Structure 1
Amino acid sequence: MSRHILHLIHEGQAVTVVAGYDRPLRELFLHVVRDDGAADRQAEVLLYDSLAEPGLDWTDINTVANQLAALGIEPPASLIESIFLDQCFNAGNRVVEHHLNQPPVVLQPSGGSTA
């Protein structure tokens, strides 16, 4: 599973977007979490979870882009492009941190296709 992470301030609050490609399911996913500032994960509030919307086409990168737009989040182009490429190349175990004003940083390179 690839993971693309974006930390930003949205509507005055710290928010983390985690999206990517799940190789075994061959689907994309999207989670948006508000961080209330505490050190533990208990303080995170889930704002959006793609699992709650199984009727959407999670094999289409436009679904990720459209859901982010509906939330009022404009990610850097690198986030959407990278997720799409992960899907095209069946990439897994890749972790990339994206930024609004600088290039993305690869935290863990892809494990490659096992298909």
Structure 2
Amino acid sequence: MSRHLLHLLRQGRKLTVVAGYDRPLRELYLHVIHDNDADPHQEEAFVYDSLGDPGLDWSDINTVADKLATLGIEPPASLIEGIFLDQCFNVGNRVVEHHFDRPSVVLHAG
């Protein structure tokens, strides 16, 4: 499973986008998580989880892009492109952190 990470601040809330390609399922996934720095003992709260939207076509990269847009998140192009390439080349075990102000960083490629 590939993982593409993006940390951002939206409406005063710290969010983390975790998205990628699940090779065994041959599907894409998307999680948007509210990071709770105020209380480190409290669990992260999901703002969005693609598992809760099984009616969408998670084999289409446009589903990820459209859902992010619906949530008011405009990711760097590298995030959508990276996920799409993982899907095209059936990539797993890859972790990439994306940034708005600098190039993405591959944290793990296996």
- Classify the TM-score, shorter chain: over 0.9
Distance in 1 between residues matched to 2:81 and 2:108, nearest whole Å: 17
Total equivalences in the alignment: 109
Q: Please name the residue that 1:30 is paired with.
A: 30
Q: CA deviation at 1:44?
A: 1.2
Normalised to the residue count of structure 1, the TM-score between the two structures is: 0.92
Alignment pair present for 1:87 and 2:78: no
- CA deviation map 1:74-100 (0-9, x unaligned): 000000000000000000000000001
TM-score, scaled to structure 2: 0.96
Tell me the distance in 1 between the aligned counterparts of 2:71 and 2:58.
17
2:17 maps to what in 1?
A: 17
* Equivalent-residue separation in structure 2 for 1:39 and 1:6 (angstroms): 20
Partner secondary structure for residue 20 of structure 2: strand
Does 2:60 correspond to 1:55?
no
Structure 1: state its 5+ residue gaps. none
Q: Which runs of 5+ in 2 are unaligned?
A: none
Structure 1 segments, 4+ long, off by >4 Å, are: none
Percent of aligned pairs with the same amino acid: 70
